Structure 1
Amino acid sequence: MTLALIGLAGLLFLSTLSQSAHAAAYSAIVVDADDGKVLHAYKPDAPRYPASLTKMMTLYLAFDALKAGRLKLNQKLPISAHAAAQPYGIDLRAGQTITVHDAILAAITKSANNAAVVLAEAIGGTEAKFAEMMTKRAHQLGMTNTVFKNASGLPNRHQKSTARDMAKLGIALVKNHKDYYSYFSTAEFEWKDAVIPNHNHILTRYEGADGIKTGYIAASGFNLVASAKRDGHRIVAVVFGGSSVKARDNRMIQLLDTGFAKIENDDAPATMVADKSESSGFGLISNAEATPAAPINAKALKNADDAAGDWAVQLGAFRKASSAEHLLRKVRGKLPSAEPLVDPVQSGSKKLYRARFTGLSEADARSACQKLKREKMNCSVISPDAG
């Protein structure tokens, strides 16, 4: 099937599905990275929690420092008590060191919060000071609706961005840091006898994909910035608020297909005028809105082929979301290839929060649950049809 036909099918699919299928936090944008044209947009300027997409800016500043000679890839960075105490990451202990190279890979592949803070402290002195540097740099890149409060993307109600701003950051990483952008295509990372796969499944699922970053917290849903290049054309796309790993990834694939088809047909809407005020030296996206397409039906996406699977392991259901998040953080290291999810559900007159790890194949889900049970932990295997 040609890109044109794929794109036409995608557009018809996008335009015929109901608004109710979207989570409230959903937004998306697809941008031609070569000329900044908006190929598709849905609420691209709505404020969203970036979650671990935040690490894209942490890495941008790290690449800035490498380019300027303030950091070196083989330089050993000290691990502070603050960095070591971050929830979810690789095995780092206060008083030890990690090279810049390994910290970058850990932040990209495993989305390690502790590695991100190590980089932040090396560059900014403190994480708080580094967050101020992140926000300043973001505004210099034209990300006027973005504020950063930490280096990792851990929950902070004042840390916000938009799909449009994250597309700008993705394009800036590609264009301004060509020497380091290839880090985002790393398939796996070895650390202390552990092999850590990249959370970005688009790298293996989509032809031409070469980065960039996933993100998740309960308040944001499943986020993703992806970049792909075909026939000399590059697209950067952003999805905020996916309901699961599978739904987010399938949505991204459909949007990339639609974007490439529009480029092939040269029928992208003329909604963009290059912003000459941006200091990065390339035109991106104006405030003009692309006409939003109707949202995507998550149920229909469920039937699409997904090599990663959409089976889940459920650890329990709780009256408080914080209790579910605490358990997920506690168990996270045992399931490095899965994505954590706090899934709210109404049970009679009460609202419960289910602690789940998603994005697993059936075999991996069953194997993981067996492992947890051997460690005297409760769990159950949830099939895609279980909802």
Structure 2
Amino acid sequence: MYTAFLSGRCIAQFKSFFHDILKIVAASGLLIVLATGGAAANAKYAGIVIDAKTGKTLYASSADSLRYPASLTKMMTLYLVFEALESGRISKKTRIRVSKNAAAEPPSKLGLRSGQTISVEQAIYALVTKSANDVSTAVAEHLGGSESGFAKKMTAKAQALGMKKTTFRNAHGLPNSRQKTTARDMSRLGIALREHFPQHYHYFSTRTFKYGKSRYGNHNRLLGSVKGVDGIKTGYTRASGFNLVSSVRKDGRSIVAVVMGGKTGASRNKHMRNLIARYLPKASRKGKANLIAKAPSAATKIALPKKGPVPKFRDVSDVRVALAYAKPQKSSAFPIPLDRPVVGKDALIDRLKKQRAVVAPVPRPNAPVERAPQKNASSNAGVDAVVTASTGMPSGWVIQIGAAPTRESAEQLLAEAKAKTGGMIAKAQPFTVITQRNGEQLHRARFAGFDGKSHAWKACKALKNKGYGCWATQQ
């Protein structure tokens, strides 16, 4: 009986000990869940915290696994906007025209109409706060000529910044199965925005933005609620989950943290707060930053072959319009003969010196550009007369009168040509086409809407009589 009592007592003690172990394990498990925000049970989750002064990884979980960026994509869209501002291609007052394609984007959006314009600075605020998809597409078409053209520039820039696993297919982050990134790549982009554009980075701290009669709050709820947070961007799609990139600077320390795949916006934010609280104190107060080399912009120098003949040039963009090195003249015409070959490097250089090949002047921000009338449409229909590559290219016979480094200058050239020539091109439809050669971007200025080859050729003859280069082709 005593033996049985001891046995029962041992069993009871063992049960008590076992329960204590379970409590410890449960407590440990709770701590793990608190530390990871439930990440272990979430297949979409990825996270990383980088010391922005030393580049040291303070925390990482699935940081190199492919994820969907959602609206974190707009960080790269803004990077290219800032780059264009610094290069002088655009100013904060430059007006961006909204195409039918941009206006049709699903929310989140400002609700811009086709034909409407928005300034570059307004576009920046709309991307940072409202995360407006219609604005993203308008920016992409303005800077890249088309959504796909701009996405290629985004991907190329990502690779140049060391974002090795990132591919972009659009400028807004709406669902696309081939648009992928990683938490580590997004942290690099966040650091690059801070380091490369300190003069523009303040936009990411914007709490509210007023446009028209509406005021929009920033989707980043950590701004103003977590000390030291100064940006950067949120994102969400059903496929990606809730994403957030945060920049934090406090007490001489600095980090960039990324959370991807949150199950809710609240849980994502809570997890980000935990990461900041835990890892910011571990960041160094020392360090020179400058962690990410600034990728150079595309070269604009004319590429000439070292040996052999120069091929026959069929449009002005082939000879680079003499380009950033030609001294601007008063005329905006492109009178380089397009029907005769130029053989040899020296001959080409000599020809360029003698011709009045210049880049068309960039119009003032509010300068009116004459638009082609639309058939069966009222004057208030808001149709974007100067189309871009992403809104569909005209078919049939078209003529090209030149090329320019920006879409605005190409449109200005078209407007001037129509005003000076009239007649054969009075009812022609102006449009621009983006082209990339040797890393340089140009916008071809073209007219469409001709009744066959004969009509197009006669229009070209009329343009040549006015001093414009011109060639006709069928699309």
TM-score (norm 1): 0.65
1:123 is the counterpart of 2:140: no
1:175–1:22 CA distance, 2 compared to 1 (3 A): same
Q: How does 1:151-300 map to 2 (within 5 A)?
A: 151-263=171-283, 278-280=293-295
Counterpart code for 1:194: S
C-alpha separation in 1, matches of 2:285 and 2:249? 16
For the 8 Å contact 1:172–1:280, the answer to whether it is kept is no
**Could you say what secondary structure the match of 2:199 adopts?**
coil
Q: How does 1:42-191 map to 2 (within 5 A)?
A: 42-88=61-107, 89-191=109-211
TM-score (norm 2): 0.53
Structure 1 residue 265: Cα displacement: 10
1:355 counterpart residue number: none
For the 8 Å contact 1:77–1:98, the answer to whether it is kept is yes
Q: Percent identity?
A: 47
Between 1:39-48 and 1:225-234, the stretch displaced more is 225-234
1:142–1:20 CA distance, 2 compared to 1 (3 A): closer
C-alpha separation in 2, matches of 1:160 and 1:216? 14
Deviations 1:167-203 (A, max 9, x none): 0000000000111111000000101211100000011
For the 8 Å contact 2:51–2:284, the answer to whether it is kept is no
Deviations 1:57-79 (A, max 9, x none): 00000000001111100111111
C-alpha separation in 1, matches of 2:96 and 2:270? 38
**Could you say what secondary structure the match of 2:164 adopts?**
coil
Aligned residues: 265
For residue 55 of structure 2, the aligned residue among 3, 12, 36 is 36
C-alpha separation in 2, matches of 1:256 and 1:280? 29
C-alpha separation in 1, matches of 2:93 and 2:179? 31
Structure 1 residue 122: Cα displacement: 1.1
Counterpart code for 1:41: A
1:192–1:265 CA distance, 2 compared to 1 (3 A): closer
Q: How does 1:360-375 map to 2 (within 5 A)?
A: none
1:356 counterpart residue number: none
1:13–1:264 CA distance, 2 compared to 1 (3 A): farther
C-alpha separation in 2, matches of 1:244 and 1:213? 16
- The higher relative CO (CA closer than 8 Å, separation ≥ 6) is in 1
C-alpha separation in 2, matches of 1:50 and 1:246? 18
**Could you say what secondary structure the match of 2:283 adopts?**
helix
For the 8 Å contact 2:63–2:184, the answer to whether it is kept is yes
Bigger radius of gyration among the two: 2
Deviations 1:118-176 (A, max 9, x none): 11111101010000000000000000000000000000000000000000000000000
For the 8 Å contact 2:39–2:45, the answer to whether it is kept is no
For the 8 Å contact 1:27–1:43, the answer to whether it is kept is yes
Over aligned residues, Cα RMSD in angstroms? Answer: 2.5
Q: How does 1:13-28 map to 2 (within 5 A)?
A: 13-14=31-32, 22-28=41-47
**Could you say what secondary structure the match of 1:213 adopts?**
strand
Structure 1 residue 22: Cα displacement: 2.8
Counterpart code for 2:94: Q
C-alpha separation in 2, matches of 1:20 and 1:90? 34
Structure 1 residue 263: Cα displacement: 2.3
Structure 1 residue 17: Cα displacement: 6.9
Task: Extract structure 1 runs of 4+ deviating beyond 3 A.
Answer: 10-21, 278-281
1:59–1:11 CA distance, 2 compared to 1 (3 A): farther
**Could you say what secondary structure the match of 2:81 adopts?**
helix
Structure 1 residue 13: Cα displacement: 3.2
More strand by proportion, 1 or 2?
1
